[in-house]
């Protein structure tokens, strides 16, 4: 008997007993058995905390990001192997691409996110706040990696993406993971984990794998751990209320299957491109992964005067879908994940048929290519019609997790919005419309019940990733039935694994703690001009005070002529009564330009390669002719850059805090954060 190994505490090990038998979803052939019986889960968690967490916490965000990139590049070299195994789950090449390369894509996306963070083991979160009249007391927030383990309990439908989209985020945040995939497709997850471990890219303890049951794993969680769950709402609620999770206040993120919907705007007619876009989107969502997607369209809302035309178009489109062995190039829809899954879907469809009628497909037979209906877990796409959606409960509460969807009529957009909410919370919704007003009303009024809304029309259809595609930089999750959680979402997702702490103190103390210069902190006067220093030589807080310059009326006139900016406030002939100014005022951008002339040291070639831009610029006080100004120029933050090519110059980005000061009493007339690209010495 072939047994899947679990990966625990840096060892591949078998569970005790026979375990659960796993079968090829297409042929019905035996693949392996999986068991986790006998594993010491308490020891596994402790190993992750003592080794994986300790190692990852010592790495900076940039080091973790580069680790993710290296891992993604490594896994991309083994795609052929992963695809060959994925076919056994019933997935077509297109289905497997979403799962495998989509999962690897999450590693790349999160690797790039490192640029959004400091090159530190922690990061500042949000703005800083001054609390003292004398500018000596302030506060800000920092985020630090939690000291526990991310425990991921995943669904069967995406054995690779489900793991990598979560692990990419917790690794970037600085936490290790224990992954518990759904057992029925865990053999594919295991194949990817084997390559991850073989790469030696992750520190020891950063990843462990449980192919069998989770056993008593959750008995040993602590407040520093994070548990995520993807799957049915019923199972999710049971886990969320697990005694140790409740008593320890363990962070729990739930992403549950939901009754997602699509709406056809009442402006769309058969001759419009949006009509075909709608039909294709419904067909794709019903047949991709054989409808086994937590984001799949389960409810289809159509204007009542177009309902017959729409369902006829959908059925005609579904009839063209070739079903069978995914290895056949003609096949566009494979099988469900297993025989048990097919039984479950049929059972749920029977519940739906209590108030709906089947208008396409069959529960009992399906035409296949190169496959045996009895051996494989195949099911025909099933389109149902419910003509009274306001009187039926089943269609808004029962989910058949397969190629099943129900079409329903609505009278006006208000009804469509109301119907969309009857699912009591979903991961995503779509509306297909060419009317901006319809789109705006739907989005704003339906948003409370959906985690993501796609507005689809002819303008974006070619580049749209579609109704059912969560993106790494956008949140994935939803309210109510969908679980009430969020994952991914770029920086938002990373913060889920970090502890937010408010810190208070003097600006100088906060600067030294965060390694980011805070306004009103004491600077370190530099005898050598900072522009003459290489990236690694610069210190946070290093500062120069520039020479002074008097702003003249002639300066303002020359800048107006040079820039073409002859706004009335810059003219001497203007009557300033009723304006915000007392007299002719200097252009804000002129003051910024003068600032650059004062702080730039550019007579000789130096390590500063170029001006990279301005993040923040504010003009806080008018500057009139005769005003004498000078600049306080401070090294605020340093961010390393990676070489794209071996021949690239080794460099980093330096942020400078620029304060433009009126010499008479030193009030700030302007502030900015400018960025320069600075060469490294070695």
Residue 582 banded pLDDT, cuts 50, 70, 90: confident
- Tell me what the mean pLDDT of segment 165-180 comes to: 96
Q: What is the DSSP string of 72-128?
A: HHHHHTTHHHHHHHHGGGT--HHHHIIIIIHHHHHHHHHHHGGGGS-SSSSEE-S--
Residues sharing a CB contact under 8 Å with residue 53, sequence separation 6 or more, in sequence order: 145, 147, 148, 149, 174, 175, 176, 205
- Tell me what the mean pLDDT of segment 150-166 comes to: 93
Mean pLDDT of the chain: 92
- Tell me what the mean pLDDT of segment 633-655 comes to: 88
138-145 and 498-505 strand pairing? antiparallel
Query: Per residue, what are the HEC states of 429-484?
Result: EEEECCCHHHHHHHHHHHHHHECCEEEECCCCCCCCCCCCCCCCCCEEEECHHHCC
- Between CA 257 and CA 230 the distance in angstroms is 8
- Tell me what the mean pLDDT of segment 85-102 comes to: 93
Q: If DSSP codes are grouped into helix, strand and coil, which group holds residue 32?
A: strand
pLDDT value at 484 more than 90:
no
The pLDDT value recorded for residue 235 is 86
The pLDDT value recorded for residue 569 is 87
- Between CA 68 and CA 111 the distance in angstroms is 5
The structure tokens listed for 147 are 């000291």
pLDDT value at 409 more than 80:
yes
Residue 246 banded pLDDT, cuts 50, 70, 90: very high
- Between CA 130 and CA 153 the distance in angstroms is 43
Residues in the chain: 682
- Tell me what the mean pLDDT of segment 36-58 comes to: 94
Residue 1 banded pLDDT, cuts 50, 70, 90: low
Number of Cβ within 10 Å of residue 646's Cβ equals 5
pLDDT value at 189 more than 80:
yes
The pLDDT value recorded for residue 2 is 87
CA angle (121, 125, 127) in 5-degree steps: 135
Lowest mean pLDDT among 62-66, 318-322, 613-617: 613-617
pLDDT value at 602 more than 70:
no
The pLDDT value recorded for residue 40 is 93
Known catalytic residues are 255, 294
The pLDDT value recorded for residue 528 is 86
The pLDDT value recorded for residue 166 is 95
More confident residue, 53 or 616: 53
- Tell me what the mean pLDDT of segment 371-377 comes to: 90
Q: Domains of the chain (ranges plus CATH)?
A: 3-122+144-256+492-498 (3.40.605.10), 260-470 (3.40.309.10), 517-679 (3.10.129.10)
Residue 603 banded pLDDT, cuts 50, 70, 90: low
pLDDT value at 666 more than 80:
no
The pLDDT value recorded for residue 261 is 96
In terms of average pLDDT, the best of 207-211, 464-468, 488-492 is: 207-211
């Amino acid at each position: 008997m072939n047994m899947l190994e679990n990966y625990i505490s840096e060892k591949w090990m078998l569970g005790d007993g026979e375990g659960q038998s796993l079968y090829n979803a297409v042929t019905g052939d035996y693949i392996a058995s999986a068991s986790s019986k006998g594993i010491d889960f308490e020891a596994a968690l402790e190993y992750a905390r003592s080794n994986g967490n300790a190692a990852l916490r010592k790495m900076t965000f940039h080091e973790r990001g580069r680790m993710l990139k290296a891992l993604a590049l490594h896994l991309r070299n083994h795609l052929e192997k992963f695809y060959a195994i994925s076919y056994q789950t019933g997935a077509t090449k297109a289905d497997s691409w979403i799962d495998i390369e989509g999962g690897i894509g999450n590693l790349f996306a999160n690797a790039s996110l490192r640029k959004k963070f400091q090159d530190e083991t922690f990061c500042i979160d949000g703005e800083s706040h001054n609390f003292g009249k004398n500018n000596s007391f302030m506060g800000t927030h920092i985020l630090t990696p939690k000291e526990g383990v991310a425990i991921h309990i995943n669904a069967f439908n995406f054995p690779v993406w489900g793991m990598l989209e979560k692990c990419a985020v917790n690794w970037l945040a600085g936490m290790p993971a224990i992954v518990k995939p759904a057992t029925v497709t865990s053999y594919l997850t295991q194949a990817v984990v084997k390559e991850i471990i073989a790469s030696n890219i992750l520190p020891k303890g950063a990843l462990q794998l449980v192919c069998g049951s989770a056993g008593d794993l959750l008995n040993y969680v602590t407040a520093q751990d994070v548990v995520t769950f993807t799957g049915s709402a019923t199972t999710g609620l049971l886990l969320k209320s697990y005694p140790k999770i409740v008593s320890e206040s363990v962070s729990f993120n739930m992403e549950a299957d939901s009754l997602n919907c699509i709406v056809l705007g009442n402006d769309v007619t058969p001759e419009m491109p949006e009509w075909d876009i709608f039909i294709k989107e419904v067909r794709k969502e019903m047949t991709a992964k054989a409808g086994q997607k937590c984001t799949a369209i389960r409810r289809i809302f159509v204007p009542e005067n177009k309902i017959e035309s729409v369902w006829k178009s959908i059925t005609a489109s579904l009839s063209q879908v070739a079903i069978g062995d995914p290895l056949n190039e003609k096949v566009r829809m494979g099988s469900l994940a297993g025989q048990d899954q097919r039984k479950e879907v049929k059972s749920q469809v029977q519940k739906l048929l209590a108030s709906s009628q089947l208008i396409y497909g069959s529960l009992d037979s399906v035409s296949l290519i190169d496959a045996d209906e009895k051996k494989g877990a195949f099911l025909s796409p099933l389109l149902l019609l419910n003509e009274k959606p306001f009187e039926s409960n089943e269609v808004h509460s029962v989910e058949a997790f397969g190629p099943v969807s129900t079409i329903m009529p609505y009278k006006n957009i208000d009804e469509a919005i109301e119907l969309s909410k009857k699912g009591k919370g979903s991961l995503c919704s779509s509306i297909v419309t060419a009317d901006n007003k319809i789109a705006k009303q739907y989005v704003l009024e339906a948003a409370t019940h959906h985690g993501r809304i796609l507005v689809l029309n002819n303008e974006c259809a070619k580049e749209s990733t579609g109704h059912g595609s969560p993106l790494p930089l956008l949140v994935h999750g939803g309210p109510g039935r969908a679980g009430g959680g969020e994952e991914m979402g770029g920086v938002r997702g990373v913060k889920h694994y970090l502890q937010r702490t408010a810190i208070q103190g003097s600006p100088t103390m906060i600067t030294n703690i965060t390694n980011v210069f805070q306004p009103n902190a004491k600077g370190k006067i530099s005898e050598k001009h900072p522009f003459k220093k290489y990236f690694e030589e610069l210190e946070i807080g290093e500062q120069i005070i520039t020479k002074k310059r008097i702003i003249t009326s002639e300066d303002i006139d020359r800048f107006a002529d040079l820039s073409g900016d002859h706004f009335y406030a810059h003219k001497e002939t203007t009557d300033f009564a009723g304006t915000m100014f007392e007299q002719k005022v200097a252009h804000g951008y002129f003051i910024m330009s003068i600032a650059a002339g004062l702080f730039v040291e550019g007579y000789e070639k130096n390590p500063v390669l170029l001006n990279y831009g301005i993040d923040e610029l504010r003009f806080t006080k008018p500057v009139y002719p005769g005003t004498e100004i000078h600049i306080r120029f401070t090294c605020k933050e340093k961010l390393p850059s990676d070489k794209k090519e071996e021949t690239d110059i080794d460099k980093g980005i330096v942020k400078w805090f620029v304060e433009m000061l009126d010499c008479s009493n030193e009030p700030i007339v302007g502030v900015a954060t400018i960025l320069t690209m600075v060469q490294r010495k070695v």
